[in-house]
Amino acid sequence: MRRRRQCQPKDLTDASFSEIQDYVKSETLTGDLKDTEEQIRAAFGNSPDLTFRYMRLGANPKVEILISHLDGMVDTTFMGIGILRPIAEEPPQKSVKAPDGVAAYELLRQSLIQNTGMQEADSIEKILQYLINGFCVILIQGVPRGLAAEVRGWAERNVSEPGTESSIRGSREGFVENYRINTSMLRRIITSPQLWMEEFQIGAVTKTTITLAYVKGIAENELLEEVRHRLKSIEVDAIFESGYIEEYIEDAPYSPFPTVLRTERPDKAAAGLLEGRVVIITEGTPFALVVPATFTQFLVASEDYYERYMTGSFIRLLRLMAMFISLNPAVLLCCHYFFSSGTLAHPLDS
């Protein structure tokens, strides 16, 4: 048996941002599905992409289930096969063993729902966060907590060659906007359990996921503590791109020389990890940050890692010499003298 229920949510139309945040933090799960639906609707302002569906657990009429998700954020096919079908087609013999909500909750968590990204949510705040991140939330009548199954399925860009760091030799893969794909690229290059990652939620409104990646045993502990401290000290409403993070954590913001390296290439980021540096991956952008960055890093091309030692070193040295020559005032003065129109015309006139 399935039915949909429409509830009148609490009106937060005239509430301020801080008042809505206080409301979300103050609300608790009571175990009543109607109350929970009203709380979720109120927090989202009764948004049209917010979807609710009431179901029964198989043939058991005593267990009522509420399933909620944001339309466009989930893979509906995967959700239908992995969540809705197991609930609707739950065998009668198991229904007998699950006469109440608590037993049904454990049955769903342990056996029926086959999802590797299953999480438990014990507050309205956590439920809202899971919904925003593409999870499907499952609530059972009489149980003051819920299950969140990861069924993300929004449209995203495929992996392609970096537009700003193309190379003739080496990998043609570049980071994308999906941070989980970016972390998997690093995993494929550095196939070691010593590649550790930590996640932070930064941004009071956007709650952007920031991933801190490093190779344990190679990166210095002092560096890790400093990067963690600077990330945790960021207080801002929104993080849309890694440039926001760069501006907050760089050492010398007024220096003309950058202290943070940006890259779209996974192989370049992996090389930095193996050199003892830290990589910061921001959700929603293909640019990763590598810290700390030295001046010579900005004179290194991706192909240098794939050339012979002598060849790569010679090319780097050549770039460094060319830079100093081009910035030398005496060289600029000589170029102006020898290539000025008057100087070139004088031998021809004689």
How many other CB atoms are found less than 10 A from the CB of residue 8?
9
In this structure, are 318 and 278 located in the same domain? no
Cis peptide before 86 (omega within 30 of 0): no
Q: Confirm whether 60 is domain-assigned.
A: yes
192 with 114, same domain? no
Nearest to 67 by CA among 47, 88, 48, 46: 88
> Is residue 289 within 8 Å of residue 245, measured between CB atoms?
yes
pLDDT value, residue 6: 43
Report how far residue 112's alpha carbon sits from residue 94's, in angstroms, rounded to the nearest whole number: 10
Residue 5 lies in a domain: no
Q: What is the pLDDT of residue 339?
A: 63
My answer on whether 130 and 71 are in the same domain is yes
Tell me if 84 sits within 8 A of 115, measured CB to CB. Answer: no
Q: Which segments within the chain are labelled E, that is strand?
A: 50-57, 60-70, 119-121, 135-140, 146-150, 195-202, 208-215, 261-263, 278-282, 288-291
Which of 129, 150, 171 terminates a domain? The answer is 150
pLDDT one-digit tens code per residue, 191-212: 898 999 999 999 988 899 999 9
- pLDDT given for residue 236 in this prediction: 93
Considering the domain boundaries, does residue 168 fall inside one? no
Residues 204, 296: one domain?
yes
Residues 34 and 137 in one domain: yes
For residue 217, CA distances in Å to 167, 184, 260, 307 come to 31, 20, 22, 27
Neighbours of 190 (CB within 10 A): 18
Are 225 and 322 found together in one domain?
no
Q: Does residue 235 belong to any structural domain of this protein?
A: yes
Regarding whether 143 and 43 lie in a shared domain, the answer is yes
- The CA distance from 236 to 245, in Å, is 10
Is residue 9 situated within a structural domain? Answer: no
Q: What is the pLDDT of residue 58?
A: 66
In a domain, 11, yes or no: no
337: in domain: yes
What's the pLDDT score for residue 93? 52
pLDDT of amino acid 200: 94
Any idea how long the chain is? Answer: 350
Residues 213 and 125 in one domain: no
Phi-psi bin for 20: left (phi > 0), alpha (psi -120 to 50), beta? alpha
**Locate tokens 């048996």: which residue?**
1
The alpha carbon torsion through 254, 258, 259, 260 (nearest 10 deg) reads: 120
Instruction: Name the residue range of residue 110's domain.
Output: 17-150
The model's pLDDT over 7-57, given as tens digits with 9 standing for 90+, comes to 444 667 777 878 888 888 888 898 899 999 999 998 888 888 899 999 888
CA 314 vs. chain centroid, Å, equals: 38
pLDDT score, position 290: 95
- pTM for the model stands at 0.75
232 and 271 in a single domain? The answer is: yes
Residue at 231 is within a domain? yes
How many independent structural domains does the chain possess? 3
Q: Specify whether 312 is located in the same domain as 295.
A: no
In sequence order, which residues have a C-beta less than 8 Å from that of residue 64 and are 6 or more positions away? 33, 54, 55, 56, 140, 141
The structure tokens 């600029």 sit at: 332
Based on the fold, state whether residues 195 and 230 are members of the same structural domain: yes
**Below-70 pLDDT ranges, the chain:** 1-11, 58-61, 90-99, 331-332, 335-350
Same domain, 129 and 194: no
